[in-house]
Structure 1
Amino acid sequence: MTFLQKHRKDLLFTAVLLVLAGVLFRFTHPGGAGTVAVLRYGDPQTEQIIDLTKDARYDIDTGVYTIHLQVAEGGIAFVDSPCPDHTCEGFGVLRNVGDWAACLPAQASLTIEESP
């Protein structure tokens, strides 16, 4: 009898527990809870921390364009972009750690990070 045959039930039980732990983690750590948006723009680079727990609109002059950011329901998005291609709007709403968007014409990037 092979190892897999001997421990099939144990391995299945462990896999189910890992999946449940992942689901539980996902529901107990949604975007906005313990996360912030970090906006970096300009030359020299300016960094601005944006609270994701308070719905708000931000109009920020990057020195090239004035970008418009909307915070709602624990997420943030580029909205009403003045740049020529509006690519930054296509990133949608960012809410999870590691989510990233940029408006290259405005020399701005937005990243979701753990709260300091």
Structure 2
Amino acid sequence: MREKRPESRRKWLANVLFAAVILAAAGVLVLLRGAGRDAEAPLKAQLIYGDQNTVLDLPLDVDRTYDVDTGYLTVHIQVEDGAVRFVDSPCPDHVCESFGWLRIEDQTATCLPARAVLTIAPDQ
């Protein structure tokens, strides 16, 4: 039976150590990212659309449906119970609808044919 060489054990240990350092760094970044934010900070939805990157702020505290002409298609946005989504869009594949409800900061849904991005952002 053949024993493992010391070099292969060192390589394995170096790989494990490298992975541990990367995971620790990622954990620190996640903690730092959330450290400065208030957990109950108000949020809003933003629709960024068209070639001019027009920004439309949508309050999440008012249930409403918005019909927005992006210059390419008219997208239909629904706000309900503090969440927002693309609903009943005229795009050919309806991928934007499959993103579902967005309610957490930095969640994003995109409708490429309409050139529209829907995202959750802090309400400042």
Length-normalised TM-score, structure 2: 0.67
Whether 1:58 aligns to 2:66 is yes
In the alignment, which residue of structure 2 is the partner of 1:88? 96
- Equivalent pairs counted in the alignment come to 88
- For residues 80 and 54 of structure 2, the distance between their equivalents in structure 1, rounded to whole angstroms, comes to 23
Amino acid at match of 2:62: K
Choose from 92, 114, 118 the match for 1:106: 114
The runs of 5 or more residues in structure 1 that have no matched partner are 1-27
1:1-116 equivalent positions in 2, closer than 5 A: 29=40, 34-116=42-124
Q: Aligned-pair RMSD on alpha carbons?
A: 1.7
Sequence identity percentage: 50
Larger Rg over CA atoms: 2
Q: What CA distance in whole angstroms lies between the structure 2 residues aligned with 1:57 and 1:109?
A: 16
What CA distance in whole angstroms lies between the structure 2 residues aligned with 1:106 and 1:47? 14
1:9 match: none
CA deviation digits over 1:14-41, x for unaligned, max 9? xxxxxxxxxxxxxx63xxx600001100
- Distance in 1 of aligned mates of 2:48 and 2:65: 17
Residues in 1 aligned to 2:65 and 2:89: alpha-carbon distance in whole angstroms: 13
SS in 1 for 2:113: helix
